[in-house]
Amino acid sequence: MSLSAYLILSAVLFLFGAFGMMERRNMVGLLISIELMLNAASINFMAFNHFLYPGTVTGQIMTLFVIGLAAAEATLFLAIVFAVYRHYRSINVERVDHLRG
Amino acid sequence: MQIQLGIATVLSPILSFVLIAAVGLRRPTVAKIISLTAATVSLVCASMLLLGVNDPAFKIQATWSWLMDDPSKFTIGLLLDPLSLVMLFVVSIISWLVQWYSLSYMEEDARQGKFFAFISLFCFAMMGFTIAPNLLQSFMCWELVGLGSYLLIGFWNHLPSAATAARKAFIVTRLGDVGFFIALLLAWTGLGTLDFGAMAGDAMSATWKAAIGGSDYGVWISIALFLAVAGKSAQFPLYAWLPDAMEGPTPVSALIHAATMVAAGVYLLARMSFVLVLGSEAAIMAWHGLAVIAMITALMSGAVAIVQSDIKRVFAYSTISQLGYMIVGIGTGAVAAGMMHLFTHAFFKALLFLTAGAFIHAAHSNSITDIARAGGAKLKLPMMALFVGSMALMGFFPFAGFYSKDAILEHLFVEGDWILFGMALLGVFITAYYTSRVIYLMLKVPAEPHQGHGDEHGHGHGLHLGSWMKLPLGFLAFASLVAGNVWLWKAHNWFVIPEAEHGNAALITALVSTAIAAAGAFYSARVFYWRTSADPMASMTGFATLLREKWYLDDAYWAIVHNFYLPITAFLQKVETIIVKGALDGIGTVSMTFARGFARAQTGEVQHYLGMSFVVVAAVVLILMSR
Amino acid sequence: MSEFLFIAGAALAIVGGLLAVVARNLFHASLGLAMTLTGTAGLFIPLAGELIAVVQILVYLGATAISIIFILMLSPPFYLKRPNRNAMKVVGAIGVVLIFAVPLMRAVMSVSASDPLNHVAPTVNQIGRALLTEFVFPLKLFPFS
């Protein structure tokens, strides 16, 4: 398979994630979309590493970092969701609009 | 040595002002000590300077560059010559006496510290003006004098009348100061220098003579200066502020009338009289025109003094009248006579005002009849002082006013200027009439049906003279007696005598003017003392009403303000409201509108922000790729 | 072998991704995410990332996806009637995504590379060595994130 196939796949996943980010009301839906986008980034790292710099490990290590980051971020997100829930009694992002001008 | 003395004379009052402002505002005793010490230093230095000089050509000038490195441009410094030494002495001695007197007069005032600080500032301004070697320093100190008079006239600023009078004095003199400023600019552009000595041309060189006389700068500078003099020295049509300035404390009135404020204009004329000496025919015409205006002022204000019932206002109008005489003298070329009258007038007018202050302090009223009723005639020293001062003012031999007024009259007589001479004699009559009127009214206590004789007697004993008032009154009474002789002994040969004396002109004018003054005093006695003639001003019709309304000058001012000034300001206010305020409001409205529009973009919903940032990132990336 | 793994993984990932963003039931969406993660792990094998594939399964699926399901307990109960989709919002999101797709696709199309011939997977030893030498600083910084 060529590099373009991987890149297109990751772009499609990224766009799905972007769509979800803008469409979901529930904050958990947002988190799922973020994970999708991170996943797309991981695929890109792996593909570039394999096709352009074979024999090195930089891309793979970046992917490891992404995975670790996603785990940490999910935990952080959990804390934020709790805080928002306690304040607004809801995790609907449309309700969280204190910055309205 | 003389320069150091001059500096000490001028700087000690400003030092006193600073010190009182720093430590003395709430400690009256400290303020008094500082102020009196500084005044004493000034007086001693000025006296030493005056006594140490005998040479008419004496002239010392010391200047320091200021504002620019080039010392030929703008300088401050001091110029010591006979003219400034005499003036410095007058200012320092009058201010010393006035401050001494104020120890009693202001003893009940809660803000004595401030009062003495202001007096010190005022004296500094006048002394700085006196020694100024150039027009620029003159102008600065001239404005400081205006500020000092404003502060002191409005010293009792809790009285609305005092505040109004201070404002009026400030604004009216400021009108004249426009003239000073124009003169300053004319001298700078036309002559290229502001230094008095350079302007006069130390060697009377032909180029300077041409510059002043030939190009007629002398005329225009003179006319502009006359406006300034009319404001400061209270000449027609800008004299209306001076009677209102009586709202200030009486020592301040004495200071303003004798030495500081109003004398500044006359002194400036004397300083600039080289224009008259060097100038063209047109310049001499202009100065003569000023003399005519001053003579008219003298007669007008003297006539108003006849109908005044407030003792200070009588003397205020008298001051305007006497200033008119001084300017007549200088304007017709008799600088020495004018300065001599300034010198003697300083003493007897200070005496009269301090006497009036003593009466007011004792009787708590400004009205002549009220003071008389309260038993003012029983105050021995003030009555004596009033008598001496009045004699000097009327110009009787051997009092000081006789010498100086006769010097002016004699000059007019010798010049053959019969119109001015006749008007001056009429002025002598009016002066004698209103001056003696005050004495007669004081002596002839009007019948008081409500009060018994004994009660009135008790009142008279209740009056007391402030303990610090005796020395100034006594000294000034003595000075009013001898000032003319002092001048003749010390200062007479200092000034250029323009004409050789013409035989018995001095004797003729002395006899004529004394006779006319005696006639005025006699007629006044018939009217106010023996009451054998009817008071010509008692009727409320015609001329008397005109005088009572002070020639309607205040009404004329008001009409001008009302008909010209206020419409202009109303128009400008509209401009301000519509254009300036409208423009600013427009800026505000536009930005508010934009802000409201942009604020709508801030929905507060995180997904909208996210979408916007996606679009922006896409746009940026596309732009970068297309390059 | 690699083509099969790619097609299977890609199909799994795309179907899962679609499910993750369009499913109205959030639990289904979570399962869609799990599908995507599994498919991605399969994709890593032909890219010479066997170790990464294992870590993806262990950490991503085992920890992250489970914590997401845990968060789901804060969402409104599924038996309640959920509000309808906001059509404007969907259209707007699709519009933004399409706008963003333009530069993204142009960038993707501008890159091309063929499969390298010397297909040598890095060993765990190599990765560990790199982590503890070249990347030790980001590794030590990582816990603070």
- Domain segments of chain A: what residues? 3-95
Phi, psi of B3 (to 5 degrees): -65, -45
Mean pLDDT over B102-116 rounds to: 84
d(CA C38, CA C41): 5
pLDDT of residue B52 exceeding 60? yes
Whether residues C70 and C122 fall in one domain: no
pLDDT of residue C115 exceeding 80? no
In three-state form (DSSP H/G/I as H, E/B as E, the rest C), the secondary structure along A9-58 is: HHHHHHHHHHHHHHHCCEHHHHHHHHHHHHHHHHHHHHHHHHHHCCCCCH
Q: Which residues of B97-117 are buried (b: 16+ CB within 10 A; e: fewer)?
A: bbbbbbbbbbeeeebbbbbbb
Interface touch B606/A22, C-beta < 8 Å:
no
Asked if B605 reaches chain A (Cβ–Cβ under 8 Å), the answer is yes
Residues of B in contact with C102 (CB under 8 A): 618, 622
Under 8 Å CB-to-CB from B569, ≥6 apart: which residues? Answer: none
Interface touch A93/B603, C-beta < 8 Å:
no
Whether residues C95 and C114 fall in one domain: yes
d(CA C102, CA C104): 5
Asked if A34 reaches chain B (Cβ–Cβ under 8 Å), the answer is no
Q: How far does chain B reach from its first CA to its final CA, in angstroms?
A: 84
* 8 Å CB contact between A37 and C35: no
Please give the pLDDT value at position B501.
Answer: 56
Bridge partners (DSSP) of residue B367 are B310
pLDDT of residue B617 exceeding 70? yes
Name the token pair of B32: 């008094």
Name the token pair of C138: 């980001």
Please give the pLDDT value at position B250.
Answer: 85
Closest to B216 measured CA to CA, from B267, B284, B272, B273: B284
Q: Looking at this protein, which amino acid is placed at residue B53? A: V
d(CA C18, CA C119): 32
Residue B543: pLDDT band with limits 50, 70, 90: confident
Higher-confidence position of A90 and A21: A21
Residue among B607, B611, B622 minimizing CB distance to C102: B622
What value of ipTM does the predicted structure carry?
0.91
B79: helix, strand or coil: strand
Which residue reads 């792990």 in tokens? C41
pLDDT of residue B55 exceeding 80? no
Q: How far does chain C reach from its first CA to its final CA, in angstroms?
A: 38
Residue among C37, C72, C115 minimizing CB distance to A28: C72
Whether residues C72 and C61 fall in one domain: yes
Please give the pLDDT value at position B619.
Answer: 93
pLDDT of residue A80 exceeding 80? yes
d(CA B362, CA B344): 27
* 8 Å CB contact between B447 and B369: no
Whether residues C132 and C62 fall in one domain: no
Side-chain half-sphere exposure of A21, counting CA atoms within 13 A: 22
Rounding to the nearest 10 degrees, give the CA dihedral for residues B316, B317, B322, B327: 110
Q: Give me the percent of chain B exceeding a pLDDT of 70.
A: 91
Phi, psi of B582 (to 5 degrees): -60, -45
Residue B603 Cα, gap to closest chain A Cα (Å): 4
pLDDT of residue B454 exceeding 50? no
Interface touch B599/A101, C-beta < 8 Å:
yes
Q: pLDDT tens for residues B579-611? A: 888 899 999 999 999 998 888 878 878 888 899
Q: Give me the percent of chain C exceeding a pLDDT of 70.
A: 94
Whether residues C95 and C139 fall in one domain: yes
Please give the pLDDT value at position C10.
Answer: 93
CA angle B62, B68, B71 (to 5 degrees): 35
Mean pLDDT over B162-172 rounds to: 88
Whether residues C77 and C92 fall in one domain: no
Q: How many domains does chain C have?
A: 2
Higher-confidence position of B605 and B142: B142
**8-state DSSP, C45:** T
Q: pTM of the full predicted structure?
A: 0.68
Interface touch B598/A101, C-beta < 8 Å:
yes
Whether residues C37 and C59 fall in one domain: yes
Bridge partners (DSSP) of residue B76 are B64
Peptide bond connecting B237 to the previous residue in cis, omega within 30 degrees of 0: yes
Please give the pLDDT value at position A52.
Answer: 87
Q: Which of B78-92, B115-129, B193-207, B355-369 shows the lowest mean pLDDT across its residues?
A: B193-207
Residue B603 Cα, gap to closest chain C Cα (Å): 14
Name the token pair of B538: 């008692």
Whether residues C34 and C63 fall in one domain: yes
Q: Which of A50-54, B63-67, B277-281 shows the lowest mean pLDDT across its residues?
A: B277-281
d(CA B252, CA B139): 22
Rounding to the nearest 10 degrees, give the CA dihedral for residues B387, B393, B398, B403: 170
Bridge partners (DSSP) of residue B134 are B195
d(CA B178, CA C144): 76
Whether residues C45 and C32 fall in one domain: yes
Q: pLDDT tens for residues B234-289? A: 888 788 888 888 888 888 888 888 878 888 889 998 888 887 777 677 778 888 88
d(CA C46, CA B321): 119
Name the token pair of B332: 């017709």
Residue B493: pLDDT band with limits 50, 70, 90: low
Under 8 Å CB-to-CB from B622, ≥6 apart: which residues? Answer: C102, C103, C106
Please give the pLDDT value at position B42.
Answer: 92
What distance lies between CA C109 and its chain's CA centroid?
21
Residue A20: pLDDT band with limits 50, 70, 90: very high
* 8 Å CB contact between B290 and B273: no
Phi, psi of B78 (to 5 degrees): -140, 145
Closest to B124 measured CA to CA, from B62, B78, B193, B188: B78
Mean pLDDT over C54-73 rounds to: 83
d(CA B612, CA B602): 11
Residues of B in contact with C90 (CB under 8 A): none
pLDDT of residue C15 exceeding 90? yes
Interface touch B610/A22, C-beta < 8 Å:
yes
Question: What stretches of B364-417 show up as alpha helix (H) in DSSP?
Answer: 368-373, 380-394, 400-415
Give the Å distances, CA to CA, from B568 to B155, B170, B563, B573: 32, 21, 9, 8
Whether residues C9 and C76 fall in one domain: yes
pLDDT of residue B462 exceeding 60? no
Whether residues C27 and C69 fall in one domain: yes
* 8 Å CB contact between B91 and B260: yes
pLDDT of residue B164 exceeding 70? yes
Which residues form the domain of C107?
85-145
pLDDT of residue B461 exceeding 50? no
Please give the pLDDT value at position C79.
Answer: 73
* A3-95 CATH: 1.10.287.3510
Q: pLDDT tens for residues B71-88? A: 667 788 888 888 888 899
**For testing contact with chain C, the best of B603, B608, B616, B625 (most C CBs within 10 A):** B625
pLDDT of residue A13 exceeding 90? yes
Please give the pLDDT value at position B455.
Answer: 42
**Long-range contacts of the stretch B400-403 (C-beta < 8 A, 24+):** B400/B344, B400/B347, B400/B348, B400/B479, B400/B480, B400/B481, B400/B482, B400/B483, B400/B484, B401/B344, B401/B345, B401/B348, B401/B480, B401/B484, B402/B484, B402/B510, B402/B514, B403/B340, B403/B344, B403/B484, B403/B485, B403/B487, B403/B488
Side-chain half-sphere exposure of B319, counting CA atoms within 13 A: 37
Q: Which of B159-168, B533-542, B588-597 shows the lowest mean pLDDT across its residues?
A: B533-542
Residues of C in contact with A36 (CB under 8 A): 17, 20-21, 33, 36
> Average pLDDT of chain B?
83
Pick from C82, C104, C137: which residue ends a domain? C82
Please give the pLDDT value at position C101.
Answer: 92
Whether residues C9 and C70 fall in one domain: yes
Please give the pLDDT value at position B289.
Answer: 87
